[in-house]
Amino acid sequence: MSTDVLIRTKGRVDAYFGISEHGSTFKRELMAGTVTFLAMSYVLAVNPRILGDGPAGDLHDKGMPIQAVFTATAVAAIFGTLVMGLWAKYPVALAPGMGLNAFFAYTVVLHMGIPWQEALSGTLLSGVIFFVLAVTKVREKIIEAIPMQMKLAVGAGIGMFVAFLGLKSAGIVTASDATFVHLGDFHEGTTLLALFGLVVTVVFLALGWHGAVLYGILCTTVLGVVTGLVRLPDSLAAMPHGLDQTFGQAIIHLPDAFTGKMVVVVLTMLFVDFFDASGTLIGVANQAGLLTADGKLERAGKALAADSVGTAAGAIIGTSSTTAYVESTAGVSAGGRTGLTAVATAGWFLVALFFFPIFATFADVSAVTAPALIVVGVLMSRALGEIDWNKLEYAVPAFITVIMMPLTYSIANGIAMGLLFYPIVMLAKRRARDVHPVMWALMAVFIYYFWYLAK
């Protein structure tokens, strides 16, 4: 390729993404994409662990095929991130969301007894509904209907639930007939390994290292190999396969998804994904200086639509809801300002697709990935500080939302209980007029859920 062709191609790419317009460079965008990948690549180890959760885990034989989940995770991340980068032109990467995957595995499949194939159908439905909301003005009305305090509570509650999963997987918290839970055995090798992983990951985070979670997993794996708790893979790389076990299952089982139980499942997936995506996109855009003068999100419709397309496509491929990752802020802090950053991140996920043996080693021992879950839970729970605890009309439903998720082992129960109590407390405080009609409708849905469906 001649120099003139290269210059013209570079000029077209620059013009398409607006690289120079946003004060960035090709080198900076590509480096930012690499940083984003390092910050979020732990999903390739953690997501298969949660959705697969093999014979030794809670899901037993109800979990998804682990290698298929790994492949689906990488492919969904590649597809969703490319849509976000090439179409919406945001420096935001997508992948199966933490919290949403826990809801999929432990609430829908384990607690509600819904086969994972039907759960994928529910994910697909939530993605389609999300897309319709994203390209219409309905999204603004829904955002206005749900009070900010409840949005914060849901995010914090999911953080608590994810952290509880990590503590349980690490053996730091174990079951007790007398007190339900108690402190684990710190003489167990895997528990000590998980504690080591938690300490080093927290130290890396405190030092401000991008990719701290991944580095924590790596250090824990190395110690696990040295102590004989983790087995080295037979090979470093392998051709991706297993997708035939999950691809299209969401479409095949779509007719089975129209049941009373699935209404709550789809609503919960939609609620969490919609507001998580909105909050993440606004946060990343604010850090990148991409908000308008009045604080609105540029190309909001495209950005949210890209997220919803990622969710629907991810379900068809074979994984839980795919959503925008807050770790994208790591890339933005490294200078990423355009969709080229996202394209670069997708490129790294493509490379990672061929290294299943390495990521499988991370996922094979729960003590290796448990610290990542705990730390992700901590980061998600920061929203607790933004809740107005001085007002009972917010404090009561928020607290119930947060506490019910880990105690009932169900994200859906926490959201349903919190949104049920919100109108009740507002009514008691003589503020019924401030409750949006949508909230009263949701209250009726969740009363039906608890009376007829919850168990």
Span 153-188, pLDDT tens digits: 888 887 888 889 889 888 999 988 888 889 999 999
Task: Examine residue 340 and state whether it is found in any structural domain, yes or no.
Answer: yes
Mean pLDDT, residues 88-107:
90
Query: What is the Cβ-side half-sphere exposure of residue 400, based on CA atoms within 13 angstroms?
Result: 17
| Highest mean pLDDT pick, 97-101, 306-310, 415-419 | 306-310
Residues 106-127 have pLDDT tens digits of 889 988 889 999 999 999 999 9
Is the model more confident about 203 or about 279? 203
Residues 243-282 have pLDDT tens digits of 999 999 999 999 988 888 888 889 888 888 887 787 778 7
Distance from C-alpha of 320 to C-alpha of 59, rounded to nearest angstrom: 15
**DSSP for residue 232:** P
Give the number of domains in the chain. 1
CA distances from residue 292 to 18, 297, 354, 415 in whole angstroms, order as listed: 16, 6, 40, 32
Task: Examine residue 248 and state whether it is found in any structural domain, yes or no.
Answer: yes
Task: Examine residue 360 and state whether it is found in any structural domain, yes or no.
Answer: yes
Mean pLDDT, residues 52-67:
72
Mean pLDDT (the chain, rounded): 87
Task: Examine residue 185 and state whether it is found in any structural domain, yes or no.
Answer: yes
Residues 323-364 have pLDDT tens digits of 998 788 778 877 888 999 999 999 999 999 999 998 888 777
pLDDT above 90 coverage of the chain, percent: 42
Distance from C-alpha of 1 to C-alpha of 19, rounded to nearest angstrom: 23
Question: Which of 382, 188, 374 lies closest to 279 in space, CA to CA?
Answer: 382
Task: Examine residue 435 and state whether it is found in any structural domain, yes or no.
Answer: no
Give the pLDDT score at 361: 82
Give the pLDDT score at 56: 47
Distance from C-alpha of 370 to C-alpha of 168, rounded to nearest angstrom: 8
Mean pLDDT, residues 291-319:
85
* Residue 8 pLDDT exceeds 90: no
Distance from C-alpha of 305 to C-alpha of 130, rounded to nearest angstrom: 7
* Residue 57 pLDDT exceeds 80: no
Task: Examine residue 423 and state whether it is found in any structural domain, yes or no.
Answer: no
> What is the token pair recorded at 426?
């507002």
Give the pLDDT score at 405: 87
> What is the token pair recorded at 56?
């030794």
- Cross-strand partners of 322: 96
Q: 3-state DSSP call for residue 291? A: strand
Give the pLDDT score at 55: 45
- Using left for φ > 0, alpha for ψ between -120 and 50, and beta otherwise, residue 174 falls in beta
Task: Examine residue 407 and state whether it is found in any structural domain, yes or no.
Answer: no
Q: Which helix (H) or strand (E) holds 323?
A: strand 322-324
Task: Examine residue 369 and state whether it is found in any structural domain, yes or no.
Answer: yes
Q: Note down the domain range covering 177.
A: 22-382
